[in-house]
Amino acid sequence: MCGIIGYIGNRNAAEVLVRGLHKLEYRGYDSAGICVFSKGHLDVIKTKGRLDKLEQRLSGTSLESTLGLGHTRWATHGEPNDINSHPHLSQNGKIAVVHNGIIENYRQIKEFLCDKGVEFQSETDTEVIAQLLAYHYKGDVMRALMTTLGELEGAYALGVMCADYPDEFFAARKDSPLIIGLGKGENFIASDIPAILEYTRDIIIMEDREIVHITRGQAKLYDLLGKTVKRGVFHVDWDAEAAEKGGYEHFMIKEISEEPRAVRAAISPRIRDGLIDTGLSALSDNWVRNIKKIHIIACGTAYHAGLVGKYAIEKVARIPVEADLASEFRYREPIVRKGDLAVVISQSGETLDTLMGLREARKRGAKILSIVNVVGSSIARESDAVIYTWAGPEISVCSTKAYNTQLAALFSLAYDLGFRKGKLSFAGMMAAAKSLLGLPELIEKVLLNREIIQKFSAQHFNAQSVFYIGRGIDFALSSEGSLKLKEISYIHSEAYAGGELKHGTIALIEKGTLVICPITQDNLLEKTLSNVREVKARGAVVMAVTPERLAGAVSDVADAVITIPDTDSIFAPIIAVTPLQLFAYYVSVMRGNDVDKPRNLAKSVTVE
């Protein structure tokens, strides 16, 4: 969940580390620190709070070093404070460690080391790694690291320095992302590409249970038995400016504004000669035609995209679909059979719950199709087929354009499956392809009306509780709209299926309660309007999001109507979500919140 950067070269290490940590702020953190090799020893500077506090502490020092590790931390074991911040030193001062992930057996190891006379300074599981490394270290760091990793249970991305090794450092990973950056006379590690993109575009993506030994001139990969591993170099081809604000006040509004381009990039390469092709050629046509069931596995925003995907796939391809929260999937003894398809969705491709869900589905016999944004990510590598969303870097913790592109991938998949299974005619496929290609222009039109949404947000940013209601695919859309609001505005918000109001929820509606209602499905118009009348009768204020063709009927009932361009009903969520994202954004701004870095949240969740 946190940020790691490591550096060796000829530059000032402290400056490189802090600049890199700034590029990783979007991942979320509550403390920060660095360790550099300076004047013959390991020098650690760390503090609770934002990076500006770390920079204040560094301003009073003169650290002349070209080797170091940096870290931003979200508290998991132990409260956020200076002592629990990373990096952590061993008792003898020989070993420094930064760590992402969770060590599940840290208590047993800590008890063992305490019996050996080791005194711990922090409450973290990470300090256990530093102390255990020092315990095993007899002059050979690589050997000590291999021994230590063999005794750890859980997830880790590690950076390791040793005071006896002034011109090299080490790193390792298991179930937590880590990359190697290759420069000229300098090399790096990082938990994500933006941290090092200003220095190099050539990276190696580490895989599970690998160790890397890094010097100025090279980076050597090994497995846990010490055998050399060969791995190709990946060249990053997106521009560094894509990870900068580019004049926007926040990354979130920049990324919402990028949705038309992102959706176009997700759709255009998959339409050839008027037909939709999502790359299922990795799975044979005969196998695809005989799919009996699809399992969608995802977390958070990706799960909400999966709920929309369930509606789309069942409607178009007529294949039964279950959408599961990844964190629940593998613990409920899911019924997955050979011949089933598991569709695994993750922006980062490193979400640990989702990765574990993928492995559970594979173990039970399913083929894996992943929908991810990051090329070469763990989920992509472990899949039988991949649909890349090509959204570009998404920096704000609150996911926006990633959701739209995930929907674009799921809609494309639904029609590809439907055509391959004979449920969709050639003419139907051509019409769907044309509609998909037109979606970016429709999103652009929505963005032109953002001032209407901003005005409504100004009237309701002090709401105490907000309810989202919808029917059918609009309920799935409501779930995402509600999540956007609560995660960045901190307003209590819930989404409910419109038909469930009478089964208890309507008891919460009183005078002045704000209700937001997507109404995009023609066949459910009257049913949804009756729900709007129900809440209006109890004093609610209703904002509706609806296509132009339904605006007349909806405006007779709702207090405010945000119109979106007309399109096929099945595609409405990819357009209608943008007003909901904008509403959440403007409410958060007006409440004075840190929009891009909401409290207690991280971008890439690499712990269970």
Give catalytic residue positions. 2, 603
Contact 415, 276 (CB under 8 A): yes
Q: 126-136 vs 141-151: helix axis angle to the nearest 10?
A: 130
- Give the angle subtended at the CA of 549 by the CAs of 545 and 552, to the nearest 5°: 75
Give the tokens for residue 308.
């929309």
Give the tokens for residue 342.
């598991």
- Give the angle subtended at the CA of 521 by the CAs of 505 and 387, to the nearest 5°: 100
Instruction: Measure the CA–CA gap between 402 and 302, rounded to whole angstroms.
Output: 8
Instruction: Measure the CA–CA gap between 437 and 268, rounded to whole angstroms.
Output: 7
Contact 33, 86 (CB under 8 A): yes
Give the tokens for residue 511.
């005078």
Tally of CB atoms within 10 A around 385: 18
What is the end-to-end Cα distance of the chain in Å, rounded?
10
Bridge partners (DSSP) listed for residue 545:
518, 562
Contact 532, 542 (CB under 8 A): yes
Instruction: Measure the CA–CA gap between 565 and 432, rounded to whole angstroms.
Output: 17
Contact 101, 129 (CB under 8 A): no
Instruction: Measure the CA–CA gap between 547 and 561, rounded to whole angstroms.
Output: 10
Find all residues with CB under 8 Å of 343, minimum gap 6, and list them.
294, 295, 296, 297, 306, 309, 369, 370, 371, 410, 413
Q: What b-and-e string marks burial along 296-307, b requiring 16 or more CB atoms within 10 Å of the CB?
A: bbbbbbbbbbbb
What is the Rg, in whole angstroms, of the alpha carbon atoms belonging to the chain?
25
Looking at residue 154, the DSSP 8-state letter turns out to be: B
Determine how β-strand 41-48 pairs with β-strand 219-223.
unpaired
Instruction: Measure the CA–CA gap between 608 and 606, rounded to whole angstroms.
Output: 7
